[in-house]
Amino acid sequence: MQIAWGKAANSNQPNRVAITGLGIIACCGIGSEDFWNGLLAKPPQGIRVVPNFDPLLWFNPKEARRVDRFSQFNVAAAQMAIEDSGGTDSLNSDPTKVGVIMGAGVGGLDTLEKQIIQMYEGGDRKVSPFLVPMMMANAGCANISMRFGFHGPSESIVTACASGTHAIGNAARLIASGRCDVVIAGASEAPMTQVGKAAFANMTALSTIGISRPFDKDRDGFMLGEGAGVLILEEMNRAQERGASIYAEVLGAASTADAYHITAPAPDGHGAANCMELALADAQLKPQEIAHINAHGTSTPLNDKAEADAINKVFGTPGPPVTSIKGITGHSAGSAGAIEAVAAVLTIRKKLIPPTAGLESQDPEIHIDVVKAAPRAWEPGPILSNSFGFGGHNGCIIIAPPK
């Protein structure tokens, strides 16, 4: 990874960025193994709600009442990732060099909606004094830094559906530049409120028949999802010296804007293509060195075609094998890229590319190699993970097996 600002301490070369821990909460599973098994199973029915999530496993009852669902996901996934990486003591040798970078597209929508109803039913005095700290998008990173005593940068990225990918990319640069030794990075989202579901439905973003079908000729929108994904990013030498399990390495990241439309992607995919090219340059890789693409693949007519065209522009036709996990997970907005980053790491570990669930008949105007029907065995190599958000925000990260 190149350095966007500064340089690595005492070196002209950027620090390498290891991934040493994973935390995941998704509709298809809580924890890495259940999540992975869910990616290989049949899609859930209906909207993609996380089932059986019990906040009391991570909060006492009083705390749980004062933390919105999206932030509960954040803290729970972060704790999983921290424990997976060896625990707080292993990471927190210098708390001023441990950061928390979290993404969210909407934030505490559930709390906001409930408190508006409270106000209209009971008057201003019924509005909770905890409304603002519960709904603010930075509540996720704030709660993590306070709970675990991390004193480094604690920041929230809000770039719609690109938030999680941007959070991981920005976090990796904090490691590469030497500012941080460790960063807890990822994103969370819980938009499953009455207003949230109605808003996405009324803008015709959701599937009318309740099936997410990325790259299919009959795709008609996504299924709304929720959840959180968290990675522990750590300076490689530090991780090796403490004997951490190194799952993968972040090689590069990029961010661009379409500057085209508030919801629709640029029709020719030029912003997405530019973002992929910049990520490759950041990782110092050639297109032919990318072994797999975890696509944004939302199952909307415009997005899937624009992304496929962008892939062809950068990688040729058909390019590397492509999958979209949104046929299983649905589209969880700001947390999608973080959930997909966890999936990318597991794709490396398991030496299998999960299939694109819901895809039955590939759109003849989409000329990419989509993995479908069954998982595909592969020899792990660099993975490009794409996220493209409302507002024209594009984010790409490259995750590779550790050397």
At 272-302, the pLDDT tens digits run 999 999 999 999 999 999 999 999 999 999 9
Backbone angles phi, psi at 363, to 5 degrees: -55, 125
Tell me yes or no: is domain 251-400 CATH 3.40.47.10: yes
At 98-133, the pLDDT tens digits run 999 999 999 999 999 999 999 999 999 999 999 999
Work out the percent of the chain whose per-residue pLDDT is above 70.
98
Task: Reply yes or no on whether 166 is catalytic.
Answer: no
Task: Reply yes or no on whether 296 is catalytic.
Answer: yes
Please state, in angstroms and rounded to a whole number, the distance separating the CA atoms of residues 310 and 307. Answer: 5
Fold equal for 17-248 and 251-400 = yes
Report DSSP letters for 240-308, one per residue: HHTT----EEEEEEEEEE--S-SSSPPTT-HHHHHHHHHHHHHHT--GGG--EEE----S-HHHHHHHH
Identify the active-site residue in 166, 292, 331, 393. 331
Instruction: Please tell me the predicted confidence (pLDDT) of residue 9.
Output: 52
Instruction: Please tell me the predicted confidence (pLDDT) of residue 93.
Output: 82
Instruction: Please tell me the predicted confidence (pLDDT) of residue 1.
Output: 77
Quickly name the fold that domain 17-248 has: Peroxisomal Thiolase; Chain A, domain 1 (3.40.47)
Instruction: Please tell me the predicted confidence (pLDDT) of residue 10.
Output: 52
Q: Is the pLDDT of residue 74 over 90?
A: yes
Q: Specify the 3-state DSSP secondary structure of 326.
A: helix
Instruction: Please tell me the predicted confidence (pLDDT) of residue 313.
Output: 97
Per domain, the residue ranges of the chain are: 17-248, 251-400
Backbone angles phi, psi at 245, to 5 degrees: -75, 120
Mean pLDDT of 53-76: 97
Sorting pLDDT into bands at 50, 70 and 90, what band is 2? confident
* Both tokens assigned to 362: 């590939």
Mean pLDDT of 240-263: 96
- Residue 17: which of 284, 236, 239, 345 has the closest Cα? 236
Q: Are 118 and 148 in contact (CB under 8 A)?
A: no
Task: Reply yes or no on whether 331 is catalytic.
Answer: yes
At 344-379, the pLDDT tens digits run 999 999 999 999 999 999 999 999 999 999 999 999
Beta bridge pairs of residue 154: 100
Please state, in angstroms and rounded to a whole number, the distance separating the CA atoms of residues 173 and 168. Answer: 9
Place of tokens 């790409």: 396
Mean pLDDT of 197-219: 94
Sorting pLDDT into bands at 50, 70 and 90, what band is 330? very high
The four Cα atoms 17, 181, 183, 19 give a dihedral, to 10 degrees, of 30
Q: Is the pLDDT of residue 71 over 70?
A: yes
Q: Is the pLDDT of residue 3 over 90?
A: no
Rg (CA), the chain: 20
At 156-195, the pLDDT tens digits run 999 999 999 999 999 999 999 999 999 999 999 999 999 9
Q: What ranges in 57-193 are assigned the alpha helix state H? A: 61-65, 69-84, 88-91, 109-122, 131-135, 139-148, 163-176
Instruction: Please tell me the predicted confidence (pLDDT) of residue 11.
Output: 58
Q: Specify the 3-state DSSP secondary structure of 220.
A: coil
- Residue 154: which of 71, 234, 96 has the closest Cα? 96
Q: Is the pLDDT of residue 5 over 90?
A: no
Identify the active-site residue in 28, 161, 180, 396. 161
Identify the active-site residue in 166, 270, 292, 296. 296
H/E segment holding residue 20: strand 17-26
